[in-house]
Structures are given as C-alpha cells and as structure tokens.
Structure 1
Amino acid sequence: MEEMTLQTLSAKIDTLVGYCEQLQADNVALRALQEEWHRERAQLMQKNDLARNKIEAMIGRLKALEQK
C-alpha cells in the first residue's frame, strides 16, 4: 500500500515538474514576444513622428505660399 502511495506521489511530482518546465518555456517565449512588440512600437512611434514632422513642414510651406 505504501509503495503504491509513493509511486502515485512520485508520478504527481513528475507531472508538476513537467508543468513547471512548460510554464518556464512559455514565459521565455512570451517575454521574447513582448520585447519584440516593444521594439516594433518604438519603430512605429519613430515613423509616426517623422511623418508628423513632414506634414507640419508641408503645411508651413503651403501657408508661406498662401501669404505671397
């Protein structure tokens, strides 16, 4: 009886270890995705700023032409 309990406990521990390993792998993958999204967001913000500056410059030139 005691041997069966130890085997059951050992099997449950092995299952938990497997879950922990899977969670660690998932966590690493999610952190990598998060880092990638942060980089992509920074790039998009930079492109947005560049576009905004170009549009503001065009508006400024159009206003200057309008005043002539």
Structure 2
Amino acid sequence: MPSKKSKKPSGGGIEREFILLESRIRDLVVLCQHLREENTSLQTRQGTLVSERAALIEKNESSRNRVEAMIAQLKSMETGA
C-alpha cells in the first residue's frame, strides 16, 4: 500500500497562496461594501414605500367615508321624496 505524503507547498507556493487569499479578501471587502450600500438603499426605499402606503390607506379611508356619506344622503333624499 503506497503511503500518502502530505504535500507541503514550497516557499513560492505559500507566497502564491497568500496572494490568492489577499485577492479573495479584497473581493469580499468590495462585495461587502456593495451589499452595505444596496442594503442602505433598500432600507430607504422601504421607508418611502411604508410612508406612501400609509398615505394611500388614509386617502382610501377618507374616500370611503365620503362615499358612505353620499350614500346616506341619497337614501335620506329617497325617503323624503
């Protein structure tokens, strides 16, 4: 049975691995910065949408009340006629 020897990288191999690792870390830092910016943008957008939704709900409720008042007025006009 052949013995398995662990291959130890030579001095140049370790340096190359560190360079690759450094490059990957830089890529991750850039990605992290991009994701933070995107997250901030999405949070701002969500805040805007929540405000718009609240305004639309209020407008809808106001419209509903006006329509109900008009219906009540029409019904009272029918009974009075």
| Normalised-by-shorter TM-score class | over 0.9
Letter in 1 for 2:79: Q
Q: Percent identity?
A: 37
Residue segments in structure 1 that go unaligned for 5+ positions in a row = none
Segments ≥4 residues shifted beyond 4 Å: none
* Structure 2 unaligned residues grouped into runs of 5+: 1-12
Higher helix share: 1
- Pairs aligned (count): 68
**Normalising by the residue count of structure 1, what TM-score does the alignment of the two structures yield?**
0.96
Q: Give TM-score, length-normalised by structure 2.
A: 0.81
Q: CA RMSD in A?
A: 0.6
Matched, 1:30 2:42: yes
Larger Rg: 2
Shift of 1:4: 1.1
